Chain A
Amino acid sequence: MRYRLFGLTLESEIALGISPRPAAQGVPRIRIERGRVLPTARELPRTLEIHPQSYGACLSLPGFGFARFVERTRCLKIDTPAQMNSEDRQSVILSQAVPFALSYLGEILLHASAITDGHRAVIFLGPKGQGKSTLAARAVSDRFQLLSDDTVRVDVRSRQVRVHPAFPEIRMFARDVRARWTNVRTRGAFSKVRVDLSSRFCEHAVPLRAAYLVRGGRRRAGIGGVLSGAAAFAAWASNTLVCVSPSRSRETSRFRRLSRLADLCAVRPLDVVHKRDAALNWSELFEV
């Protein structure tokens, strides 16, 4: 099956639990297969040197198995325990294995959520637990569309940054879903549930308008001042998924694009109060 994920076409022999899109045409950037990930002793060369070109980069998913990406074949092998339920497997592939492979290929993937008004995107950066997904859910409950819940792929061009749609789901605790929506389809994903937001999902890339560093749990909500050069770069870089690839030129390019990103788009701290969905001026977030 072919899927459109993170703005790219991917082919997968494992069902990912999201609708394959008619737009998913063209040569797949990555093929997802089932398979054994760790090579046997016989497969290893005598020198016991692991060659990334042959064996690829391996991602350990503690408790859930392994993923291995071989660039030469563009194959992402998924090796999860047979008894693992398909919902959890899909969740691991979508949220960890695919971003890992794309990062290896030099793409910029941010640990962030993103929303859009259909024309401009706003990105919420920040460490786990600050409320990035909650903000995205609040925006979608209002009048905005989802671009991504947890991992955002950005495309940095000379004068513009474009944000690509990831996939139409958001992960939340079941009680928060019940409090917010009654008419959405959900499925399990570890301690949270995956909420299908196909009807509120933007399927095309949009230019980035603003970026915020979310600081949750504050008593007073508000937007802070623009972060300085190095601090802005740190905000982007520390929220970028880094899978150092064997290619020096690819890492050089990633650094240049990240510094360009810091140049093109200011980052501002955003203090939020999530309790009882305290008022948030969405227009202000898009207009700063």
Chain B
Amino acid sequence: MQVSRDILSKTLSGEEVLMDLANGNYYGLNETGTRIWQAVKAGRTEAQIAEDLAADYGINANEALADVREFCALLQSENLLQP
């Protein structure tokens, strides 16, 4: 999974903002979304990201993985990420 070619991003006060050059749409991510986005950019897998989140937030690993998958699927549906 990687960031799509047409996406620009920048971190503002700890939150990521994105722009899709293909259609001019802008997106803003909250703190957790920003963390997942930055981890994807760094080349981490969904499972690795979920492990990190589960450890940091003290939540169930399976629950974290489901959330990460759901969020990444959402980003893919918006063409922000590609498989």
Contact = CB atoms under 8 A, between A and B. Distances in A.
Interface string B16-44: 11010101101011100000000000000
Contact of B15 (A229, A244, A251, A252): A229
Which size bracket describes the interface of B in this complex?
10 to 19
Interface string A208-239: 00000000000000000000111111100110
Contacts of B21: 248, 251-252, 255
B60 interface: no
B8 interface: yes
B14 A229 contact: yes
A252 B6 CA distance: 10
Given A244-B24, A255-B19, A230 B10 contact: no
B15 to A, nearest CB: 4
A256 interface: yes
Contacts of B23: 244
B26 A234 contact: yes
A7 B23 CA distance: 29
Given A255-B8, A262-B12, A233 B24 contact: no
B26 to A, nearest CB: 4
A91 interface: no
Contact of A234 (B8, B11, B28): B28
Nearest to B24: A244
A72 to B, nearest CB: 22
Interface in B38-70: none
A230 B24 contact: no
Given A244-B23, A252-B21, A255-B19, A233 B12 contact: yes
Contacts of A234: 17, 26, 28
Interface of B: 8, 10-17, 19, 21, 23-24, 26, 28-30
Interface of A: 228-234, 237-238, 242, 244, 248, 251-252, 255-256, 259, 262-263
